[in-house]
Homo-oligomer: A and B are copies of this chain.
C-alpha cells in the first residue's frame, strides 16, 4: 500500500487536538524541558495526556498508566520509551485508534542489529494494519510554532515562512538555532529519522501546497521510494524554492548514513540527475540552507550575473572579486562615466573605482558614500545587482561609536535598497572580536527584518546568489 493512499493526511497529523506523551517522566514540571513540558510551555492548546504507569499527575496534568485508559480520543502520540516497549505500546495505540505517532525512541534498524531490525518491522506491521501514520523512529519529531508543537523549549514561538524536513535531529536543532539567531522563522520543521512510514516525499508533497511555507529545505540521507521523491520534489519546486542537503554522497558518508538512519544513500551520479530533473537546489551544509533562505526571501531576481562590488579595502576587494567569479558571477569594470562619477565622491587617493569601488575610510564615511555611490553603481548599464561589504574589523579599534555607526549603516542600506532599481545584497563581516560579532549580529538582524539580503561573508553571498541565479535560469528553461 502506498503511503500516499492512507487516509489520515499530513495536514491532520500536524493539527492534533490531543497528544499523548508515552514515557513522560514522573518528575517533569513546567520548564523542565521534557516532552510534556515542551507542549505546555509552548502553548499547545489541545489535550495533553502524560502516560506513565507510576504517576498520577505530571506537570499538573492527570497522568494515565496506559494509552488505552485515556478517556477522550487521541490524535497523536509521542513515544519516549525504550525500543523494546514500542511495539506493545503501538498495539495500545491501535486499540485506541490513535491516528499518528512520533517515535522519538532510537535503537532500531540503524543499529544494524537483528533485534533492532525485528523491532522496527513489528512497528511497521502494526502501523500498517491499524492505519497509524508514523514519524520516525529515531527522530525529534515536529516543531510547528503556530500550533504549539516543538522538540526544543528554546525555539521561537513566532512562526515564519521556512519549512525544514530532515533525517537529522541534531541538525534540525542546529539549523533552527542558527536561523533564529539571525531572525529567520519557521512554518514547520520535521525531524523524521528512519522514516518507516512518512518519508521525505510525503512531507514535500504536502509542503508544495502549504500556504504557510514560502521556502522549503530538506536534509535527506535516503528514501524508500525514489520515483515518489522525484515527483514530489518536482511538484514542490514548481510551487516554491526547494533546497536539499543530500547527505551520504561520499563513500564514508554513505556508510555513516546507513549507520544513522539505515538509509540507502544512492550514488552521486543519480542525485546529480535528480537535481537536474527536479529543479531543487543542491547544497552542502546547514549554513548553505540559511543563506539560500535569506536569498529567496529577501533578494529579488537580477537581470543577470554581473555584480557591482562596493566596500573598503583594495585587497579585500580583489579577494571578493575572485570569490564572486569562482561562484559563477561576473565582476566587469564600471563604465568610464561611472568611474568618473565615483572618483568625485571619494576624497582619498588610491581608492579603486574600477569595480570593486572602495568607500572612504570609516563606517560613517561608508554610509555617506552609499547615499550617492550606490545610485551611481546602480545606474551603470553593465551591472545587474550590487553587493556591498562592510568589515568593522578593518577600521581598527572598537567602541560604542562603531556599534551605533554600524546600525546607522544598516539603516541607510535598508532605506536605499527600497529606492534602487537593481537588487542589493549586503555582507556584514563579523571579524574576530566578540564586541564586533555582537554588533554585526545586531546589524544583520536589522537588515533581515528590513527586508535586505544580508550575509556574513562574501563567500556565502556569492555562493547563494550564484545558486539563486541558476535556479531561476532552470525554472525559466522548464517553463519555456
Residues of A within 8 A of B (CB): 33, 82-83, 105-108, 110-112, 138, 152-154, 166-171, 173-174, 177-182, 219, 221, 245, 247-253, 255-261, 284-286, 312-319, 321-326, 330-333, 348-356, 391, 393-394, 396-397, 431-434, 437-438, 441, 459
Contact present for A174 and B437 (CB under 8 Å) = no
B256 touches A352 (CB 8 A): yes
Which chain B residue has the least Cβ–Cβ distance from A395? B173
Rank and list the top 6 A-B pairs by shortest CB-CB distance, nearest first: A168-B315, A106-B350, A107-B349, A170-B313, A181-B432, A252-B331
Q: Give complex CA distance A333, B259 in Å.
A: 10
Query: How far is it, in angstroms, between the C-alpha of A258 and the C-alpha of B333 when the chains are bound?
Result: 12
| Shortest Cβ gap from A318 to chain B (Å) | 4
Known: A173-B394, A182-B432. 18 other contacts (CB 8 A): A33-B396, A106-B351, A110-B350, A110-B352, A152-B396, A153-B396, A168-B313, A170-B394, A171-B315, A171-B319, A181-B432, A247-B318, A252-B325, A253-B319, A253-B322, A255-B321, A260-B315, A434-B441
How far apart are the CA atoms of A413 and B355 in the complex, in Å? 47
Give A17 Cβ to nearest chain B Cβ, in Å: 28
Q: Which of B168, B259, B325 contacts A316 (CB 8 A)?
A: B168
Q: How far is the CB of A464 from chain B (nearest CB, A)?
A: 16
Set of chain B residues within 8 Å of A285, measured between Cβ atoms? 319, 323, 459
Distance between Cα atoms of A317 and B250 in the complex (Å): 13
Residues on B with C-beta less than 8 A from A438 are: 434
Q: How far is the CA of A284 from the CA of B322 in the complex (A)?
A: 9
Instruction: Determine the chain B residues whose CB is within 8 A of the CB of A316 once the complex forms.
Output: 168, 170-171, 174
> What is the total number of copies of this protein in its complex?
2
User: Given B248, B255, B286, B393, which contacts A354 in the complex, CB threshold below 8 Å?
Assistant: B255
- Tell me if A315 and B252 are in contact (CB < 8 A): no
Is B170 in contact with A355, judged by CB distance below 8 angstroms? Answer: no
A380 vs chain B, min Cβ distance (A): 14
CA of A408 to CA of B256 in the docked complex: distance in angstroms?
Answer: 29
Closest CB-CB distance, A71 to chain B, in whole Å?
32
Residues of chain B lying within 8 A (CB to CB) of residue A356: 256
Residue of B nearest to A398 (CB): B154
Q: How far apart sit A152 and B397, CA to CA, in the bound complex (Å)?
A: 9
Residue with the greatest number of chain B CB neighbours at <10 A, chosen from A177, A259, A318: A318
Given contacts A107-B349, A322-B247, A437-B434, contact A331 B168 (CB under 8 A): no
Question: Within the assembled complex, what's the spacing in Å between the Cα atoms of A325 and B331?
Answer: 32
Q: Which of B178, B313, B393 contacts A393 (CB 8 A)?
A: B178
User: Which residues in B have their C-beta under 8 angstroms from that of A181?
Assistant: 431-434
Residues of B within 8 A of A437 (CB): 434, 437
A138 vs B247: C-alpha distance in the bound complex, in angstroms?
Answer: 47
Which of B83, B256, B259, B393 makes the CB contact (< 8 A) with A173?
B393
Collect the chain B residues with CB atoms within 8 Å of residue A431's CB. Answer: 174, 177-178, 181
Query: Which residues in B have their C-beta under 8 angstroms from that of A33?
Result: 396-397
A89 to chain B, nearest CB (A): 16
Bound complex: CA of A170 vs CA of B316, how far in Å?
A: 7
Complex contact B394–A174 (CB within 8 A): yes
Pick the contact of A317: B82, B179, B256 (CB < 8 A).
B256
Given contacts A33-B397, A397-B153, contact A321 B253 (CB under 8 A): yes
Q: Tell whether, in the assembled complex, residue B321 and residue A106 are in contact, meaning their CB atoms are under 8 Å apart.
A: no
B111 touches A350 (CB 8 A): yes
Report the Cα distance A108→B285, complex, angstroms: 44
* Cα-based distance from A168 to B320 in the complex (angstroms): 13
Cross-interface CB contact of A256 among B83, B112, B153, B321, cutoff 8 Å: B321
